Amino acid sequence: MSVAACGGNSASTTGTGSGAGGLRKVVFGAAPVAPTGALQVGIDKGFFKEEGIEVEVKMVQGGAAVLPGVMAGNPQFSTSNATTLLTARDRGLGVKIISHWSSDRKPPQKGMYGVVVPKGSAIKSLTDLQGKKVAVNTLRGLGDFTVGEAVRKAGGNPDKINFVELAFPDMSAALKGGHVNAVWVPEPFLSRLLNDGSGRLVGYTTQESVPGLASYVFTSDRLQKSDPKLVAAVTRALNKTLEYAQDHTAEVQSAAAKITDIPKATLKASGMESFGTDLRKPQLEETAKLMQERGWIKNGPKAAADVLP
């Protein structure tokens, strides 16, 4: 993944600095994926400037990879998924959610995360994944969590699935080459595999495991305590951004096409995740409980309570 900046002048590498016109500079970590277009729209609409903030968007790998940076103050804020944040909090890392980011669409709409098998595969249902090799981007992350829970809900045993770690761009070749039996992919990788005739959808795992599970924007406990006014200002700007993005999908897609390598036509065809300000507390708590049951974390209720604002 590439590293790029947008949305203003270059920010300080540590902490916040002074921006143009007396604005405070912050560095915001985001993955080069479609929902990041919403952040750029919020910057372009002036929602952050209204709060006295100048934003530098730093493209990161997301997930657990960005955690050390946020804890060190560069970036000060970032997006990540629920499983990563709950795991970090359970292990004593001072991460703190400040807002919703995006979440999968609800049925009957098509999901944004799915399991794909080769078109001629004997795998017909999610429970057929037991005993098979399934590629996910990160072990003990959102992929194997949602796949495992979807299989369990269908009556199977997630412990019988052989998960392997593979980067999303490499999954298509691995599937076509027979190196894995199935892949878990988000959009736009999902649509690409289904539309080129090589893949067949087995299930939308987020919709079939913990419907409505969200990803989040988070910061560190340290910044929350040392500069609560800054955190509150960023949160207000994010909420304005997310409310606007929910009703202006085309603008989000146009912005995403400019700051990622995803063509606008692909973004339009694959759709967009849901935005909004609901923290999805019940889904986060359910995820924490299920992670504890699977032995991924020690104290799910405490992790969920501590990571929430």
In this structure, the number of other CB atoms found within 10 A of the CB of residue 20 comes to 10
Q: Taking all residues of the chain, what is their mean pLDDT, rounded to a whole number?
A: 91
Q: What is the pLDDT of residue 61?
A: 74
Joined together, the tokens standing for residue 42 give 């919020």
* Listed residue (71, 88, 82) closest to 298, CA to CA: 88
Low-confidence ranges of the chain (pLDDT < 70): 1-21, 62
The letter for the amino acid at 104 is: D
Q: What is the pLDDT of residue 17?
A: 60
Q: What is the pLDDT of residue 31?
A: 87
Which distant-in-sequence residues (6+ apart) come within 8 Å of 238 by Cβ?
Answer: 42, 98, 99, 217
Q: What is the pLDDT of residue 105?
A: 87
Crossing angle (nearest 10°) for helices 281-293 and 142-153: 80
Using DSSP, state whether 219 is helix, strand or coil: strand
Report CA torsion sign: 157, 161, 166, 169: negative
The letter for the amino acid at 95 is: V
Q: What is the pLDDT of residue 11?
A: 33
The letter for the amino acid at 235 is: T
